[in-house]
Structure 1
Amino acid sequence: MSNFDLAIIGGGIVGLATALAVTERFPGLSFVVLEKEPELALHQTGRNSGVIHAGVYYQPGSLKARLCKEGSEATIRFCTEHGLPFDQCGKLLVATDELEMTRMAALEQRCVQNGIPVERLDAAELARREPHISGLGALFVPTSGITDYGAIARRMAALAVERGGTILTGSEVRAIREEASGVTIEAGGAVITARHLIACAGMMADRIAGLCGLDLDFRMVPFRGEYYRLGSDRNDIVKHLIYPIPDPALPFLGVHLTRMIGGYVTVGPNAVLAFAREGYRFTDVNLKDLGEMIAYPGFRRLIGKNLKSGIDEMRNSLSRSRYLKLCQRYCPELGLADLTPYRPGIRAQAVLRDGTLVHDFLIRETARTVHVCNAPSPAATSSIPIGNEIVDRAVARFGWKPA
């Protein structure tokens, strides 16, 4: 049996950023990070678009808006300090019809409210900056960029170990017992005790919270984001990140063109319901995961309210030509031959019992545990301030005092 002051469940970027925050503020605290996979950052952290988000879309005053803005600056600072790749190339949100021009004006105002630099471009200036992109106008957000979040997570892990932390991979948590004196965790064949626990379990957040006896008012629902990669002859097709103007009635941002740190360009993601929590292929089905979803009233209400858009996303997933049309709205020269398969990702999305998607960060607590129950995009961008926020919650809940 191993004894620690703190156990952190989850070896993705949020869990590792939390571990790093612990080392910076409580250097004498012993802790262990438990990751069920054989390597760190294999799921959401290692399968996202790599975008450093500026915080354009988020409700002014929300935790999400604040943490994203802080996180963008913190991510670039971390990359600079540790020699990690990033490119602050900026983002263009492109309007292709009059309705989107109206929505674009609302987004411009939201940028102003969130303190994000923004520039409005007319069609001529858009064409000058991006000759391959077609639109009536665009918003230019210069603080957006790209990085490699897997590399950032691995550097965070190395720093945490250098500062005395322990990281155990292949350690899936199977049982948690919380008592007045601490928490006992069964993970990967070992028994670990800790005075306190912080869970950053991503897609498994509800199950880990349930093991701690929390009254769950949410469930995790997996949405697969499918991407294509453009051929090497298209590496210079855009200079910026190219995003559509999102439909506010829909929960996700839409298919976009993303320059990647490796020098290539991806297209995506869509947002299609997955039939397994780690279902990266259309044919991946987990009967336990699927059964839990169907049994949950919030999932059934979510599907009922979004049936048409859900069917559209599924059709786009099954038809490459339909997917292509989403891209051709703002990049008409792309053809089917340009789209080659690329790794998909899974978005871990918390859904409330009434069928509402949780758009902001969701944190729940017990006497000796803190649970990050929803950390949607831009969680990777926001990971460093999220880690500090979680430690703030732990200080308030556990009464930690600086060493």
Structure 2
Amino acid sequence: MRTIAVIGGGIIGLAVARELTRRGNQVTVLEKEGRLATHQTGNNSNVAHAGLYYPPGSFKARMSVAGNQSIVRYAREHGVAVDVCGKLVVATSDAELPALHRLAERATANGVPAKLIDPGEAREYEPEVACVKALRVESTAVVDFPGVCGALAAELAESGTDVRLGTRVLAINRRVAGGVDVHTSSGLVRADALVNCAGLHADRIARLAGLAPRTQIVPFRGEYYELRPERTKLVRGLIYPVPDPALPFLGVHLTRMLDGSVHAGPNAVLALHREGYRWRDVSVRDTAEALRFPGTWQLASRFRRTAVEEILRSLSRRRFAASLARLVPTIGPDDIVRCGSGVRAQALHPDGTLVEDFLIERAPYQVHVLNAPSPAATCALEIAGHIASTLDT
């Protein structure tokens, strides 16, 4: 029986720990926070993506299509709330039609159930939507991802897996005879192998382990509003804009949550703290590290105008509402209230390009998940299977 240390108690770390345990390994999960799913998993829109946006053959495309099915199935089997509601991606002008048609072609290439529909058909799904054409994606779902983490943790507890909360990793040493020593705030963990699922700190953990990744995590905060309760009837399911292929994120969208509330967002602004959920959350170390990295400046230079627009939208409820009104014209500034934010752990190359696909690197006795932002929660069980198989070879 191998002993394996998994660093990170989000949905990826817990799914990896479960899969490794199911394959007969003895696993220790190390999580620096006092509870599981504190950061990316606990602060996202809970959308299980269909695999629509990603290049055919990529990890994201293959794992999203399979992951959409496996995460929904897992949620249903374990009594976790889930709603396979589908979504609309809407073109609000003729200029967006070519991009919408390319998205439909990509859906077909990836095996995603989707169809182009006219405005009348779109309003059968979303009576308040504005569009010249839309893409209906049937398999998109909303899943209680923190609830999935609770189910995974319950499985781990039942199997006797050691899950250590409030445990920081301080140093990692590879043993000459094989395996790794993980020095933590609660003592030494000796393991035959290590899996790094540390999310916002994955690159730092990799460096502690002796790797020299060329990519770096640069945190982006996504801020959300929600519709006031009396206005939630404006949205029945999920409404997304056509993404601009020149921009790195999907744009603000509308999501009916499992409790009936409707979330709007997120925007995307550079966070000044890897765990910075508010403008006033500033880490000197994190900010300095981001500013020293050439990729940050290259990205800012390439998207200077967009960055300014995102900051202005972050600071102005009126601008935020105007973005939503492109999708649902009856939404105004008085219809939305702030409701929190999340931080995306996005890896960048030194030239400022985003690492588009999941990035999983292997070293002796180690596997490091160096880029796993959205749709990683959708793909958690598939990523876990891939990592477990990697360790088996």
**TM-score, scaled relative to structure 2:** 0.98
What CA distance in whole angstroms lies between the structure 2 residues aligned with 1:305 and 1:334? 31
Q: 1:172 is matched by which residue type in structure 2? A: R
User: Residue 39 of structure 2: which of 24, 39, 43 is its match?
Assistant: 43
User: Residue 91 of structure 1: which of 63, 87, 102 is its match?
Assistant: 87
Q: 2:316 is matched by which residue type in structure 1? A: S
Structure 2 match to 1:280: 277
Q: Deviations for 1:205-254, whole angstroms, at most 9, x for unmatched residues?
A: 11000001102211100000000011111233222210000000000000
User: Residue 355 of structure 1: which of 352, 356, 369 is its match?
Assistant: 352
Asked if structure 2 preserves the Cα contact closer than 8 Å seen for 1:4 and 1:32, the reply is no
What CA distance in whole angstroms lies between the structure 2 residues aligned with 1:290 and 1:45? 23
Percentage of pairs with the same residue: 45
The 3-state SS of whatever aligns with 2:367 is strand
Q: Deviations for 1:116-155, whole angstroms, at most 9, x for unmatched residues?
A: 1112111122223311111111110010010110010111
Structure 2 match to 1:389: 386
Deviation at 1:189, TM superposition (A): 3.1
What CA distance in whole angstroms lies between the structure 2 residues aligned with 1:196 and 1:127? 53
What CA distance in whole angstroms lies between the structure 2 residues aligned with 1:133 and 1:332? 7
The 3-state SS of whatever aligns with 1:43 is coil
User: Residue 340 of structure 2: which of 339, 343, 352 is its match?
Assistant: 343
Q: Deviations for 1:46-96, whole angstroms, at most 9, x for unmatched residues?
A: 000010100110000111100001100001110111111100000100110
Deviation at 1:187, TM superposition (A): 1.5
What CA distance in whole angstroms lies between the structure 2 residues aligned with 1:330 and 1:298? 33
The 3-state SS of whatever aligns with 2:183 is strand
Structure 1 match to 2:179: 182
Q: 1:134 is matched by which residue type in structure 2? A: A
The 3-state SS of whatever aligns with 1:236 is helix
RMSD of the alignment, in Å?
1.2
Structure 2 match to 1:229: 226
The 3-state SS of whatever aligns with 1:364 is strand
Consecutive unaligned residues in structure 1, runs of 5 or more: 397-403
The 3-state SS of whatever aligns with 1:214 is coil
Asked if structure 2 preserves the Cα contact closer than 8 Å seen for 1:359 and 1:376, the reply is no
Query: Is 2:368 the counterpart of 1:371?
Result: yes
User: Residue 13 of structure 1: which of 11, 14, 31 is its match?
Assistant: 11
Asked if structure 1 preserves the Cα contact closer than 8 Å seen for 2:27 and 2:162, the reply is yes
Asked if structure 2 preserves the Cα contact closer than 8 Å seen for 1:219 and 1:350, the reply is yes
Q: Which runs of 4+ in 1 moved over 4 A?
A: none
Total equivalences in the alignment: 392
Structure 2 match to 1:399: none
Q: Deviations for 1:264-295, whole angstroms, at most 9, x for unmatched residues?
A: 11100011111110010012110000111111
Q: 1:9 is matched by which residue type in structure 2? A: I
What CA distance in whole angstroms lies between the structure 2 residues aligned with 1:176 and 1:239? 49
User: Residue 23 of structure 2: which of 14, 22, 25 is its match?
Assistant: 25
Asked if structure 1 preserves the Cα contact closer than 8 Å seen for 2:349 and 2:355, the reply is yes
Q: Deviations for 1:130-189, whole angstroms, at most 9, x for unmatched residues?
A: 111111111100100101100101110110121121100000111111112321112123
Q: 2:281 is matched by which residue type in structure 1? A: D
**TM-score, scaled relative to structure 1:** 0.95
